[in-house]
Structure 1
Amino acid sequence: MAILIFAFLFLLSFSSPSEGGGSVAVNYGRIANDLPQPAQVVELLKAQGINKVKLFDADSTVLTALANSGVSVVVALPNELLSSAAATDGSFSEKWVQTNIAQYHPSTQIEAIAVGNEVFVDPNNTTQFLVPAMNNVYKSLVKHNLSSIKISSPVALSALNSSYPPSAGVFKPELIETVMKPMLEFLRKTSSYLMVNAYPFFAYSANSDVISLDYALFRAVNANVTDPGNGLSYSSLFEAQLDAVYAAMSNIQYNDVPVVVTETGWPSKGDENEIGASTDNAAAYNGNLIKRVLTGGGTPLRPNEPLNVYLFALFNENQKTGPTSERNYGLFYPNKEKVYNIPLTMEALKATGSTPINGSKVQVTSPPTASEEVTTAAVGQTWCVANGEAGAEKLQAGLDYACGEGGADCRPIQEGSTCYNPNTLEAHASYAFNSYYQKNTRGAGTCNFGGAAHVVTQTPKFGNCEFPTGY
């Protein structure tokens, strides 16, 4: 289970990124029968300050609507066309580029082409066609003097054989020589980037017993997971996942190729077994991610490289198959109303009054409703509490360590003392964990206890017991 605890860079923005900050874009999926017409969608994008999008095809109606709009686009050549695009004579790729790219650019600002999507998990076994197709499409772009348009292919995190700890990230052995090295070599030679799809939601939902929700939602303000391989500390699962990709690339000597997160998001609704799928959590993840990206800085492994991401997705899509979550990743309903209210631009972020300064992150935990105000803990004010789903054995072991060798002040939870009630293992462990965490100045790795604890940014409440914030 531990492997999943840890289980982009020049791209697109809702608005111009801040100095030193990254940028945020959005995926425009259309597997639905109730979406507004493309021309209306373009007006929505402009009204929201969204100036770049990614498609999953090269639909002519959409590309026409985007012409002269100021909204640039990444188009896609779908998996089912890879074998034809890989043909040695290059005739299919030439026709595809002429029909779907040259005909529209530059009136429609096409920035990149995604050749295939998560090809390695395609049940039709199209991996062998990927790099030949990319080469053929590139040759056609050159022929039409369009080589400034980048070519890449989105890769799922399942391409990694290991992601824990991030420093030990490696690609699956069967992919390295056959496709990863040839593709990364192509990206290097064409000055392109690797597209990666990263979803902390999947890791959390499948492993909520060992992954902190705060860690998955960018709410662990102080780093609380340490990579034993290099000593780097992580306060978000997203950054850990991305660093695992960087490590895998470095492991095969391609650490100079940039990375773009072409999909990431969190569903606002899910099935009963899809733990964590909710409107509040979706707002927290996307809101905190946008803040994290726009206010600068990279990952612990690449701190000087700004993060750039594509949110998934623009709309809820009612005809997608699979679990309920698949139809509920949208920022907007088909009627163009927001699913939840989060700042989408730096200007909107500044208007909330919670923009981080110099890397100190005041977290957006969920959007305000019309009848409530959001209160946010002061920068750096965090507590350590027990993970009630870790199980009694882990909680007891952590409690014993904190009150014993750890030197926590556990007197208030002794029988008859101020914090004895409620007399539950979770409440007592939370007090002891927090005492240890605060005594150790909230240092990296001091709120873990083998997965039995996690950092929170809201004051813990167990009965009338007051949790200290420092010693």
Structure 2
Amino acid sequence: MAFSSILTTNKAHMASPLLILGLLSSLVISGVQSIGVCYGRNGNNLPPASEVVQLLKSNGITGVRIYEPNQPTLQALKGSNIEVTIGILNQNLQPLTNPATATEWVQNNVRAYSPDVKFRYIAVGNEVHPGNEATNHLLPAIQNIHNAIKAANLQDQIKVSTAIDTTLLANTFPPSNAEFSGPASSFIKPIITFLANNGSPLLANIYTYFGRVDTPNDISLPYALFTSPGVVFQDQNTKLDYRNLFDALLDSLYTALEKAGAPNLQVVVSESGWPSAGGTEASVENAGTYYKNFINHVKNGTPKKKGAIEAYLFALFDENQKGGDEIEKHFGIFNANKQQKYQLSFN
């Protein structure tokens, strides 16, 4: 079975700064990790922020990721006890290479709402790729935001990171061969070192859907949906058995981090999902199967690393004004009327 490109097919087109989803941080409840949800606002039919926060609370969702500061959303989150990952768009990184601007950003968007809003992570940039000018600004922006958080004495509560996708990896089959690609290494390795030195996790957006539709001859639908009846392949270097693509993707990232000198760096799965319409194999049935199995699966970790994984579903709502391919409008786990598409339990 040729899996040579299982990690290079990803949601790269969703790396747009317009990504509006949120991801929520997880808590450990009776030894089981809760699941977060990404909250995007790219729709003209979505409920107001106050109703969204009540929806999160009523469904036991304990964290949310937003992709940029939004005052109504942050106001609605006050006193909710929901943990928040707040993002900085790629096009806004360059000004933050100025320490004073980074300090002002933290003052306006974090300190102005804390402690009434429980911030957990700041995601500086989302899916920055080699060749993008944002690579030149990413590490300085991360450092300056971190220093501003530290100056505010919030470094023990709020961790500063960035979100990557798996297109930064090469040699990904089997997972034990994976490494960061040459073009990616020059900008991502210093960031990994900084995160490791400061106790921050790396955020990673991981999608099995794109591996399936981009390489259908290599990736079966059951392998992508966690429904394979048995072992699909064994990594002969590690003797670890793989039954689903998600584990192979995440273990490939763990391997690349080891080779980059950060074997103990925590990975938070900051996005994962499956579209319910708009493209090949995009259906309510497949999406429901994916989300349910994903929630159950991340309680136990991967073949390489056992233990609950902090993970966030993409996304809270369908977004009918989102650009790009049609599928990008159909990742919601709730309809705009706040009814679940799928019967999911988030704890």
- Could you tell me the TM-score, scaled by structure 1's length? 0.68
Partner residue of 2:336?
334
Query: 2:25 matched to 1:12?
Result: yes
Partner residue of 1:111?
120
- In the alignment, which of 273, 278, 287 is matched to residue 292 of structure 2? 287
CA distance in 2, matches of 1:227, 1:152: 30
- Equivalent pair of 2:7/2:166 in contact (CA under 8 Å): no
CA distance in 1, matches of 2:30, 2:294: 15
Q: Rate the CA distance shift 1:100–1:6 in 2: closer, same or farther, 3 A.
A: closer
- In the alignment, which of 218, 239, 244 is matched to residue 236 of structure 1? 244
- Equivalent pair of 1:83/1:133 in contact (CA under 8 Å): yes
- Equivalent pair of 1:3/1:163 in contact (CA under 8 Å): yes
| Equivalence map 1:276-425=2 (5 Å) | 276-294=281-299, 297-303=300-306, 305-345=307-347
Return the offset for 1:220.
1.7
- Equivalent pair of 1:6/1:237 in contact (CA under 8 Å): no
Give the aligned residue type for 2:60: G
Query: 2:67 matched to 1:64?
Result: no
Which blocks of at least 5 consecutive residues in structure 2 are unaligned? 9-23
Return the offset for 1:16.
4.6
- Equivalent pair of 1:170/1:248 in contact (CA under 8 Å): yes
CA distance in 2, matches of 1:330, 1:338: 9
Encode CA deviations 1:312-359: one digit per residue, 9 max, x unaligned. Answer: 0000001111121100000011111112223333xxxxxxxxxxxxxx
CA distance in 2, matches of 1:264, 1:131: 25
Partner residue of 1:266?
274
Give the aligned residue type for 2:223: Y
| Equivalence map 1:93-108=2 (5 Å) | 93-108=102-117
- Equivalent pair of 1:196/1:260 in contact (CA under 8 Å): yes
Encode CA deviations 1:351-384: one digit per residue, 9 max, x unaligned. Answer: xxxxxxxxxxxxxxxxxxxxxxxxxxxxxxxxxx
CA distance in 2, matches of 1:209, 1:18: 41
- Equivalent pair of 1:23/1:293 in contact (CA under 8 Å): no
Encode CA deviations 1:193-224: one digit per residue, 9 max, x unaligned. Answer: 11111000000011122211111111124222
Encode CA deviations 1:223-278: one digit per residue, 9 max, x unaligned. Answer: 2211122221101100100000000011122111110110100000123xxx2111
Return the offset for 1:18.
3.7
Partner residue of 2:196?
188
Aligned residue for 1:341, secondary structure, equals coil
- In the alignment, which of 180, 184, 187 is matched to residue 171 of structure 1? 180
Partner residue of 2:39?
28
Return the offset for 1:142.
1.2
CA distance in 1, matches of 2:260, 2:206: 21
Aligned residue for 1:132, secondary structure, equals helix
Give the aligned residue type for 2:239: G
**Who wins on radius of gyration, i.e. which is larger?**
1
Q: Rate the CA distance shift 1:227–1:313 in 2: closer, same or farther, 3 A.
A: same
CA distance in 2, matches of 1:17, 1:326: 32
The farther-off stretch of 325-334 and 215-224 is: 215-224
Return the offset for 1:5.
4.4
Q: Rate the CA distance shift 1:41–1:106 in 2: closer, same or farther, 3 A.
A: same
Return the offset for 1:175.
2.4
- Equivalent pair of 1:263/1:309 in contact (CA under 8 Å): yes
- In the alignment, which of 39, 42, 49 is matched to residue 50 of structure 2? 39
Partner residue of 2:66?
55
- Equivalent pair of 1:6/1:165 in contact (CA under 8 Å): no
Q: Rate the CA distance shift 1:5–1:82 in 2: closer, same or farther, 3 A.
A: closer
Q: Rate the CA distance shift 1:124–1:167 in 2: closer, same or farther, 3 A.
A: closer
Identity of aligned residues (%): 36
Aligned residue for 1:153, secondary structure, equals strand
- Equivalent pair of 1:6/1:166 in contact (CA under 8 Å): no
Aligned residue for 2:346, secondary structure, equals coil
- Equivalent pair of 2:25/2:85 in contact (CA under 8 Å): no
CA distance in 2, matches of 1:48, 1:290: 14
- Equivalent pair of 1:23/1:307 in contact (CA under 8 Å): no
Aligned residue for 2:68, secondary structure, equals coil
Aligned residue for 2:76, secondary structure, equals helix
- In the alignment, which of 262, 275, 287 is matched to residue 254 of structure 1? 262
- Equivalent pair of 2:275/2:330 in contact (CA under 8 Å): yes
Give the aligned residue type for 1:343: S
Partner residue of 2:148?
140
- Equivalent pair of 2:6/2:249 in contact (CA under 8 Å): no
Encode CA deviations 1:409-457: one digit per residue, 9 max, x unaligned. Answer: xxxxxxxxxxxxxxxxxxxxxxxxxxxxxxxxxxxxxxxxxxxxxxxxx
Encode CA deviations 1:174-208: one digit per residue, 9 max, x unaligned. Answer: 222x2222111111121011111100000001112
- Equivalent pair of 2:317/2:334 in contact (CA under 8 Å): yes
Return the offset for 1:3.
1.2
Aligned residue for 2:67, secondary structure, equals coil
- In the alignment, which of 214, 218, 240 is matched to residue 222 of structure 2? 214
CA distance in 2, matches of 1:319, 1:126: 25
CA distance in 2, matches of 1:39, 1:342: 22
Return the offset for 1:301.
1.1
Partner residue of 2:13?
none
Aligned residue for 2:261, secondary structure, equals coil
Return the offset for 1:22.
3.1
